[in-house]
Structures are given as C-alpha cells and as structure tokens.
Structure 1
Amino acid sequence: MHYPEAMESLIAALKQLPGIGRRGAERLALSLLEWEPEKLEFLGTLLSSLPRTVGVCPECGALADAGELCAVCREPRRDPGIVCVVETMAQMFAIESSGNFRGRYHVLGGRISPMDAETGSGLNLPRLLERARSGSVREVILALSSDVEGRATAVYIAGLLRETPVRVTQPALGLPAGANLSYADGATITAALTGRTEVK
C-alpha cells in the first residue's frame, strides 16, 4: 500500500533529516496533515525563506542572520583574544551551555578524515589563519572531538598555526565529572593520568 504521491514526496523529503527513518518520516507527515492550513503555510514560509534569512557570520563562520555578525561576535564583553575552534554549531552550543567560556569561536564546518584522505580544503581555515595572523588573537583553543578525525584535524591546524604568534591549546582530556573509573576505557584513563593535577 502506498500513500498519495504528494505524501510520498513529503516522506522522502523528511527522511533526509538526520536521525529520521521511513517510520519517523511517516509519523511526521501524518502529523503535519492534522495541522491547520495557516500553520502549514507559516511553516512553509519559514522553510522557504531560510536561504535568504540565515547565513554564516563573516568573522567566525557560525550561523547568523544573513549578512550580520553572530550573537557572540557582536557581544562586546567577549574576549576577542581567545578563539575556541569547533567543528560544528552543535559543539559551540555545548560549550556555551557551560557558561564558562568568555572568548569567541571559530566554526570549521567539519573535520579532516584521514581515511578519506581529506586535506581540509572544505573547512573554514583561511579565515582562522587570517584571525591568527591579525595580532588581535593571543590563544587558539582546538576544542575538537577526541576521535581519530578530530585529532587529525587538531594536528593539521596546529601545524598551520605554528607560523603565527598565537598560543595553541586544547581542552584537558580525561574522565568526565561524576564518572565511575570502572567503566572508563584505557585511552581515557591514560589521558586522565597524563593530565593529572595536584590535589590541594
């Protein structure tokens, strides 16, 4: 049994969203059918206007209103001398939710995959190098994933930044707060012991 052609097209479109399979797309499509026509038209207008209304920040590469700086780059109380490099907006939001970082960001838009022989050509690296060479940045924090791709990307970027006057750091790696040591893997325990600090 098949849905009408328009429903099948909607389901196919919804399946392209991350984490949405056929069943999930069907549920979403059937739910949308129950919406009032005005709500559906409003949603359609929002979706169709996204390419015109949402762009990337020319300073850091984060999402922003089209042609504008993002909220972090516009904030005068943020320290422009400390730049935290992340792979995606999701990582930027995760760091922001901690409430502890008061510098600025640089969103790469991905990472290098050694298995695919990617060279970083599609990443937002030219602007990062410009910022590092400008003299206004003191430190670049490479807050990238601790998996193979994240580490390869960090090594690659650190090499590019070696010729600039900035200090290159990365967040401490190790045991998450509240974690049971029994369930930690060997690499995590090694990182935790290597980066140990004095107990006061």
Structure 2
Amino acid sequence: MTTPSSLESLIEALRCLPGVGPKSAQRMAYHLLQHDRPGAQRLAESLQLALTALRHCQRCNTFTELEICPRCLSGKRDAGLLCVVETPVDMNMLEQTHAYSGLYYVLMGRVSPLDGIGPAELHLERLLARACDGLVREVIIATNYTNEGEATAHYLCEMLRSRGVSVSRIARGVPVGGELEYVDAGTLAQALRERRALAG
C-alpha cells in the first residue's frame, strides 16, 4: 500500500522531535489523524503561533514575545550574577529551585564537535558583552555534566577568565534524597572531592 505524500510528510516532520524514530512518528501521525483531529489542529495552530510570535531575548537569548524578556526587565533580580545555561529548559529548572535570584544567559546549545558545533556556532559575543558590561560580579557556569557540557564550561571559563571575569561552576554530587548505593562512582567521587565543612 502506498502512503499518501501528505502523510509521509507529516511522519517525516514528527521525526525532527528528540527521541522520535520512524515508528513513533508514524504512531503519532496516525493517532492525530484518526483519534484527535481537534488536537492536531491545536498543535498546528500553536506551532505556527510560536514560530511567528517568539524571538530571542536581546539580553539573555531565551525565547520571548518581547524584545527583552520580563525576567531581564525585572528590577528584583541581582544584575551582578549571570548564570549561563545550555537551554531554556535548564533555566526553568534552576528557577524552580527558588535558590537563584540573578540573571541568565541561554547558550541555545553546547560545544559538540561530533555534531559540528564549535564555540563559533554558539555566538558567544553577546555573552561576552554581557559578562564584561561592568554590572556582572560573577558568572556561574551551569552547563550539564556531560562531555559536551564540560567542554563548553571549560571553553567559557577560559574565555571569561582571560578577560578578568570572576567565574564559578555549579557543584555536582549526591542528589537530595538519593541513596549512596544507587549513585554512580563518578558522581560519588565528585561529591567527596567537593565536600564542605559542617557549620556548628
């Protein structure tokens, strides 16, 4: 049986989503068309709206409908702290902790030579301008603890320190509520190295 070209196009489009292979894309396409046409219509309209309405914030590079996002415009945030993250999702996760009140810069990626992404592809000029604007006291690197995230952190650290910027890196270790027997050896070793004295 020949698949209609419009259906093939939909399946191929769904494959651009992370973790979605050919079979998953096919299931999604058939589900939307057979069981949830109103949902498919909402999805199409929402995607079109997002594509036309969203842009990158001129200061922090996250997605916003304005030239400068509300977080960057807020006078309640500490402009002396600048936290660098890989994605808007990472920024949202940090916000959910309620433990950080500074500003952000979203890289929208990370150094990944295997994917052809080097420092030049991350367009770091805006980050550098922000970090050296005279307001920032400290840049906190909060990239993921993956090979690519570590490479990105190392590059950023070298770049910023060479310009006299104070740089720190988020710690890693045993998760809250985690049991040692389930923590991998690398994480446990890092937690031991980054231990702190107890007050009192």
Partners of 1:170 and 1:32 lie apart in 2 by: 43
Q: Is the 8 A contact 1:173 1:192 kept in 2?
A: yes
Task: Answer with 41-50 or 8-17: which moved more.
Answer: 41-50
Query: What is residue 57 of structure 1 aligned with on the other side?
Result: 57
1:174 maps to 2:173:
yes
C-alpha separation between the residues in 2 aligned to 1:74 and 1:123? 24
Equivalences, count: 198
Identity %: 40
1:48 equivalent in structure 2: 48
Cα distance in 2 for partners of 1:111, 1:48 equals 27
Query: Tell me, what secondary structure is at the counterpart of 1:110?
Result: coil
1:87 alignment counterpart: 86
Shift of residue 198, structure 1, vs aligned partner: 1.8
Letter in 1 for 2:174: L
Q: Which residue of 1 aligns with 2:17?
A: 17
Q: Which amino acid aligns with 2:44?
A: G
1:164 aligns with 2:163: yes
What residue is the counterpart of 1:8 in the other structure? 8
Q: Distance in 1 between matches of 2:113 and 2:75?
A: 38
Unaligned runs of 5+ in 2: none
SS at match of 2:140: strand
Contact kept? 1:114, 1:152, Cα under 8 Å: no
User: Which digits, 9 at most, give the CA deviation of each residue in 1:90-142, with x for residues without a partner?
Assistant: 21111112121111110112111356685400113111111121101011000
Opposite residue 17 of structure 1, the aligned amino acid is L
Counterpart for residue 123 of structure 1: 122
Residue 23 of structure 2 aligns with an amino acid whose one-letter code is R
Normalising by structure 2, we get a TM-score of 0.87
Amino acid at match of 2:64: A
Taking structure 1 as reference, are residues 178 and 35 closer, same or farther at Cα in structure 2, changes over 3 Å only? closer
In 1, distance between residues paired with 2:32 and 2:16? 17
Match of residue 139 from structure 2: 140
Tell me the distance in 1 between the aligned counterparts of 2:94 and 2:146.
18
Q: Which residue of 2 aligns with 1:152?
A: 151
**1-side partners of 2:123 and 2:69: how far apart?**
16
CA RMSD of aligned residues (A): 2.2
